[in-house]
A and B are shown apart, each in its own frame.
Chain A
Amino acid sequence: MNKWTGLAMASAAALLAACGGGSDLGGSTETDLSGARGSLMYNPPLRVTALSAAEFKDRLAANASGQTLLALAGAPKCGVSVHHIEYGTVGGAGEATNASGALIVPTGDAAGCSGPRPVVLYAHGTDTNRDYNIADITEPTRPGASEGTLLAALYAAQGFIVVAPNYAGYDTSKLGYHPYLNADQQSKEMIDALAAARKALPKVGGQDAGKLLITGYSEGGHVAMATHRAMQAAGMPVTAAAPMSGPYALGAFGDALFYGNVDYGATVFAPLTSTSYQKAYGNIYSTPSDMYEAAYANGIETLLPSTTPVATLMAEGKLPQTALFSSTPPAPAFAGITPPTTPAELAPLFALGFGTNNLIKNSARLAYLQDAMANPDGAVPTVTTGGQAAAPQNAMRKAFKTNDLRNWAPQRPVMLCGGNADPTVFYSVNTALMQGLWSAPSPLALPAGLLTVLDVDSAASAGDPFAAVKAGFAQAKAGLAAQGGASAVVQGYHTTVAPFCSVAARAFFQQVLASGG
């Protein structure tokens, strides 16, 4: 061939003139996929949404729950920029894994919205939806959207930076289970989420003022307290903490449960707890059918969290609605607590926890009870020391003791908040026990003024700084009763306490910050 070859090749070259193409991002994203604890996988992290104060206010005012939140939290002073962070952390057996969460930064020109801001580190409550994502507030129906919107309205829109993990096992986490009520793992994850968020701050227009406020609700109350304990032990600065409605005294709470004081939600908490502790300690059972009835044992380790709604799982027979224990006593001696009939006002609640379609085998309940009687907790069934059992032998009781928080004293201000009639996380064996542990004549008694305890379901005293919160809760509780009577109150009490305790926590934090904390 000749010059035509050259022409043909020139033609081909023109057709292939595209070589050297690629993607121009118009900016750059740093990635760190090492999986190291506290590493931020993508920097800047994805911004889910950014709203000015006026836009956020309009959004809240557009529906009933938003209006309630607006009334509770106040009109947004700052805009909010909500980010989805992904970070390296560890699982319940120390295995390297990843997890995600929210970083919410206040924006705008109003005073207290820019420059160095205090950080709120928030731990969310039990959720059964594996897709839970507290950063996804784009639609109110998304799992995590209501708690995310609460944090944005209550804290970010009032000038706080918010860091809130989704927890390992949820959203984009590759961990195949959730290390539920594992104080060690959950406090490590909170510390890792905070470290990752701090790496993101320069790229998302945030500045850390060096003030750290730790809080959380329900499961998150336990996580918040465990995190404060861990950070204090490691010499990391904490300004104040406000754990809310948490199962702090797990040994006492667990014993109360097995003694028949079954709480509302127990059939959901049980598989989350046993799987978490089995992964961490390996000795809760040899096989799930040691603990769970045959109808439920198969697959129970991967049942929750799930993308299937828990109501559907229950309708499919994978979990009983409320029956934790068999209505046949595990031994004749225990007939009186199968179910317990005292106190009388709680008898209907406890009765729900028993049935013929029960979740936990009598053999497991019996072994637990025998150990509880041989190695009793200091608070259940009667208050002796108020402290943990000295030497439990039963594997589940040992796991509860490992994660029981009745063994430390905070050195910074703490507010414990809850409702005394909470049927889901009992107040008397959790909040009241911690209060006793941290008050004279306990050896762990705190100096005056360090501990504030708020029961939102109590009468306001003269000059009570929390009078409005108590009045608000009373009104909300009355609303539940008017809608559906006593059972509506049982079902809604625990979630109804949450926003009121949260508002009180914010006021507590603002007071600590104002007094130079």
Chain B
Amino acid sequence: MNRFITRTLAGAALLALCGAASAQWTVRGGITHIAPHSSASDAVGPMLPGPPSGISLEVENKATAYLSLAYALNQNMELELAGGLPPTHDVNAKIASWLPPHIAAVDGQKLAEVRQVAPTLFFNYKFGDANSQWRPFVGLGVNYTKFDKRTSTAVNNALNGGPTDIRLSDSWGLAGQVGLSYRINDRWSITGAVATARVKTKLTTSTGGVQRNIDIRFHPVVLTIAAGYSF
């Protein structure tokens, strides 16, 4: 973790000491749609065409259940730990058309399924006050993404030349969100938000002892709609 993130969390902890609202905790549950917008390099490693190899990939969108737990520091500030049911994304091939026909034919086919666990800690500032019906908010935070379950498809094994193990490195990065809350009553609310984070990973395949790498950057757009219960 870099020092900026450490200071953000320390600052949030200090703010927690000053003033408390009457209903402090909010649990939010709903649906989130994750568009990873991946940007992946060409695969590099031994016994590949090129360079460039012309072999790359795209991580596809996925919707999943959303869950977050927020602690109100005061009526305008809250700390929110956002997460949900870890989604499994399809990873599809992006193959250059200049490669031999039997390789180019793999373009668009599924190479892998990858599950991500991506808790994000936000510091949210909510405009208005405890009684406002509509409360826009902005949040700044830290995302940690771990790719924990990876499955290689038969197509990917054929492309790589054998049973293939896939690993992706963890990611730490800044996150941000903007949203709008609608207060139904003292307890219930509806929240909609759009969030993003800086996520990057190094994907490593291992086939018959040979390793290849693809660097992936994400500019994810995460849309969430959730119901909130405060207590």
B210 touches A59 (CB 8 A): no
From B46, B162, B165, contact of A23 by CB (8 A): B165
B10 contacts the other chain (Cβ, under 8 Å)?
no
Cβ-defined partner of A25 (8 Å) among B48, B152, B231: B152
* Cβ–Cβ contact A26 & B153, under 8 A: yes
Note all chain B residues with C-beta closer than 8 A to A59.
Answer: 100
| Segment at the B interface, from A14-22, A280-288, A396-404 | A14-22
Does A11 belong to the interface (CB within 8 Å)? Answer: yes
Q: Are B102 and A45 in contact (CB under 8 A)?
A: no
B106 to chain A, nearest CB (A): 13
Bound together, the chains give a CA A412 to CA B64 distance in angstroms of 70
- Give the size of the chain B interface in residues (CB under 8 angstroms): 44
A7-B27, A29-B208 given; A14·B156 CB < 8 A = no
Give the residues from 142 to 173 in chain B that come closer than 8 angstroms, CB to CB, to chain A: 146, 148-154, 156-157, 160-167
Q: Does A312 contact B (CB under 8 A)?
A: no
Instruction: Please choose the segment from A134-142, A382-390, A421-429, A468-476 that sits at the chain B interface, where 4 or more of its residues have CB less than 8 A away.
Output: A134-142
State whether B161 touches A15 (Cβ < 8 A).
Answer: no
Known A21-B115, A47-B161; judge A42-B209 contact (CB<8 A).
yes
Task: Assess whether B86 is interfacial by the CB under 8 Å rule.
Answer: yes
Interface 1/0s, chain B 39-69, versus A by CB < 8 A? 0000000111110000000000000000111
A154 → B minimal CB distance (Å): 21
Which residues of chain A have C-beta atoms less than 8 A from B100's C-beta?
55, 59
Across the A-B interface, how many residue pairs have beta carbons closer than 8 Å? 120
A84: Cβ under 8 A from any B Cβ: yes
Binary per-residue interface labels of chain A (38-57) against chain B in the complex, 1 for a CB within 8 Å, 0 otherwise: 00011011111101100100
Q: Which residues from chain A contact B210 at a C-beta distance below 8 Å?
A: 46, 84
In the complex with contacts A4-B25, A16-B117, A21-B208 CB distance below 8 A:
no
Residue B192 at the A interface, CB < 8 A? Answer: no
The answer to whether B163 and A28 touch across the interface, beta carbons within 8 angstroms, is yes
Closest partner residue, chain B, to A33 (CB atom): B209
Identify which of B46, B148, B231 gathers the most chain A CB atoms within 10 Å of its CB: B46
Say whether A26 contacts B156, CB under 8 Å: yes
**Cβ contact within 8 Å between A135 and B47:** yes
Contact B149 A26 (CB under 8 A): no
Are B149 and A22 within 8 A (Cβ)?
Answer: yes
User: Looking at the complex, which one of A24, A84, A86 makes contact with B150 (CB distance below 8 Å)?
Assistant: A24
CB distance from A76 to the nearest CB of B (A): 15
Q: Does B20 sit within 8 A of A, measured CB to CB?
A: no
Tell me if B81 counts as interface (CB < 8 A to partner A): yes
Contact B164 A15 (CB under 8 A): no
In the complex, chain B residues 80-101 whose Cβ is within 8 Å of any chain A Cβ? 81, 83-86, 100-101
B207 interface hit (Cβ, 8 Å): yes
Taken together as a complex, chains A and B put the C-alpha atoms of A21 and B170 apart, in Å, by 14
In the complex, whether B220 has a CB less than 8 A from a CB of chain A is no
The answer to whether A26 touches B151 (Cβ under 8 A) is: yes
Give the Cβ gap from A299 to chain B, nearest Cβ, in Å.
Answer: 27
Q: Which of A17, A48, A51, A138 contacts B85 (CB 8 A)?
A: A17
Known: A11-B27, A46-B209, A84-B210. A25 touches B163 (CB 8 A): yes
A172 to B45, CA, bound (A): 13
Closest to A41 in B: B209
Tell me if B179 counts as interface (CB < 8 A to partner A): no
Distance (Å) between the CB of A334 and the closest chain B CB? Answer: 49
- B109-161 contacts to A, CB under 8 A, are 115, 117, 119, 146, 148-154, 156-157, 160-161
Contact assessment for A14 and B83 in the assembled complex, using a CB-CB cutoff below 8 Å: yes
* Pairs A-B, 5 closest by C-beta atoms: A21-B148, A46-B208, A27-B163, A47-B161, A21-B149
A-B contact pairs, 21 of them (CB 8 A): A8-B25, A11-B69, A14-B67, A15-B119, A18-B115, A21-B149, A23-B166, A25-B163, A26-B154, A27-B162, A29-B207, A29-B208, A42-B162, A44-B163, A46-B160, A46-B207, A52-B102, A84-B47, A86-B209, A136-B47, A138-B47
